[in-house]
């Protein structure tokens, strides 16, 4: 592409709310053969709601939500926002926790008085040395089978409840994926830190085959997956929302983030930001780059 074609394309992108951070990312568009999506907040709305709470050990639903909210008060994750919304007396938990420790892609650990609270995935329980009782495992499997994301709540080594959260596919996801296939993208995959069964359901709805779904991944493992594809000769566009996928966005040949409210991480680590139209702008952005590359006068 000529410099003037690149400049014109960057300008055309800007008018549509597509921020392109350099001509090289437009040039790369015509080489992209693989598009990898993050799940939560990217293919889905990331607008989670608590749909089910199963308490154990003589606790109540409210009690489980309250203790989870104490730990989550310090997190911006969609899971945290949903729990804080569902908990009794929303907004009054911020003062309760001390020593908060975030585990990206896993959950959160906090201290409240003498108690240690852990809220997160089975992997986080294992990591923090909390045994997962058969009863809690069974609840998790039932929730996941119906497409609900399970999150465990533990107090002092004891799992006191499971919280189920529901997300929705973005209305535009199916069409965007169809269009990418029509326009010649060979491989489309989805990566997520969520439970495998939930991940497969979302992928099926979006039109992504089971063998292209990778679940239970930490942020670093999303990046490694992108690297593996690149080592295998692929040119990769990674599409994410900046939550727990910053390293993958940065590593991709083109890291595209969906612009949203407070995502400073995405702005820093991605190469292209779909500020206004969001995910729906992705196919047009790739086409814009291809067209600019063909312009020789
Ligand atoms: P995705 O990869 O789909 O964007 P994330 O990596 O952000 O999802 O989160 C993956 C999983 O980690 C969630 O499904 C949840 O089990 C757990 N998790 C992440 N953050 C939190 C949190 N603040 N509280 C509880 N669980 C969390
Ligand atoms: Mg995400």
**Distance from residue 239's CA to the centre of ligand 2 (Å):** 10
38 is catalytic: yes
Q: Tell me how crowded residue 12 is: count the other CB atoms within 10 A of its CB.
A: 15
Q: Which residues contact 71 (CB under 8 A, 6 or more apart)?
A: 97, 100, 108, 109, 110, 112, 117, 118, 119
pLDDT tens by residue, the chain, 297 residues: 788 889 999 999 999 999 999 999 999 999 999 999 999 999 999 999 999 999 999 999 999 999 999 999 988 899 999 999 999 875 555 557 888 999 999 999 999 988 999 999 999 999 999 999 999 999 999 999 999 999 999 999 999 999 999 999 999 999 999 999 999 999 999 999 999 999 999 999 999 999 999 999 999 999 999 999 999 999 999 999 988 899 999 999 999 999 765 555 566 789 999 998 899 999 999 999 999 888 755
ipTM higher than the 0.90 cut = yes
**Whole-structure pTM value:** 0.92
Q: Is the CB of 109 under 6 A from ligand 1?
A: no
**What does DSSP say about strands 187-191 and 158-166: parallel, antiparallel, or unpaired?**
unpaired
Contact by Cβ (8 Å): 108, 119? yes
Q: Which residues contact 224 (CB under 8 A, 6 or more apart)?
A: none
Q: Which atom of ligand 1 is nearest to the CA of 219?
A: 6
* Catalytic, out of 33, 38, 85, 284: 38
The size of the chain, in residues, is 297
Q: Taking each helix axis as running N to C, give the angle between helix 282-294 and helix 3-15, from 0 to 180 degrees, rounded to the nearest 10.
A: 160
Q: Which atom of ligand 1 is nearest to the CA of 42?
A: 4
Domains of the chain: 3-44+169-294 (3.40.50.1000), 49-166 (3.40.1110.10)
Full strand arrangement of the beta sheet holding 236-240: 18-20, 272-274, 254-258, 236-240, 34-38, 187-191, 213-214
Contact by Cβ (8 Å): 283, 176? yes
Q: For atom 16 of ligand 1, which residue has the closest CA?
A: 121
Q: Is the CB of 244 under 6 A from ligand 1?
A: yes
User: Near ion ligand 2, which residues have CB within 5 Å?
Assistant: 38, 40-41, 241, 243
């Amino acid at each position: 592409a000529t410099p003037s074609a690149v400049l014109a394309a960057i300008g055309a992108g800007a008018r549509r709310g597509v921020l392109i951070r350099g001509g090289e990312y437009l040039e790369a568009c015509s080489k992209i053969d693989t598009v990898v999506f993050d799940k939560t907040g990217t293919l889905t709305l990331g607008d989670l709601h608590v749909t089910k709470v199963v308490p154990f050990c003589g606790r109540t639903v409210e009690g489980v939500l309250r203790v989870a909210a104490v730990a989550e008060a310090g997190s911006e994750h969609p899971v945290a926002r949903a729990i804080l919304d569902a908990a009794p007396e929303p907004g009054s938990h911020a003062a309760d926790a001390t020593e908060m420790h975030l585990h990206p892609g896993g959950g959160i650990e906090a201290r409240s008085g003498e108690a240690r609270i852990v809220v997160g995935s089975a992997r986080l329980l294992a990591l923090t040395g909390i045994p997962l009782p058969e009863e809690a495992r069974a609840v998790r499997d039932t929730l996941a089978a119906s497409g609900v994301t399970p999150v465990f709540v533990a107090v002092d080594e004891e799992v006191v409840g499971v919280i189920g959260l529901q997300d929705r596919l973005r209305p535009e996801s199916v069409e965007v994926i169809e269009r990418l296939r029509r326009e010649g993208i060979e491989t489309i995959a989805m990566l997520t830190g969520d439970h495998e069964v939930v991940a497969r359901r979302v992928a099926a709805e979006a039109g992504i085959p089971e063998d292209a779904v990778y679940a239970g991944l930490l942020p670093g493992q999303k990046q490694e997956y992108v690297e593996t594809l690149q080592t295998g000769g692929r040119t990769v566009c990674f599409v994410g929302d900046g939550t727990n996928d910053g390293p993958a966005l940065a590593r991709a040949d083109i890291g595209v983030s969906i612009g949203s409210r407070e995502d400073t991480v995405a702005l820093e680590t991605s190469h292209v930001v779909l500020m206004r139209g969001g995910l729906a702008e992705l196919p047009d952005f790739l086409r814009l780059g291809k067209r600019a590359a063909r312009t020789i006068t």
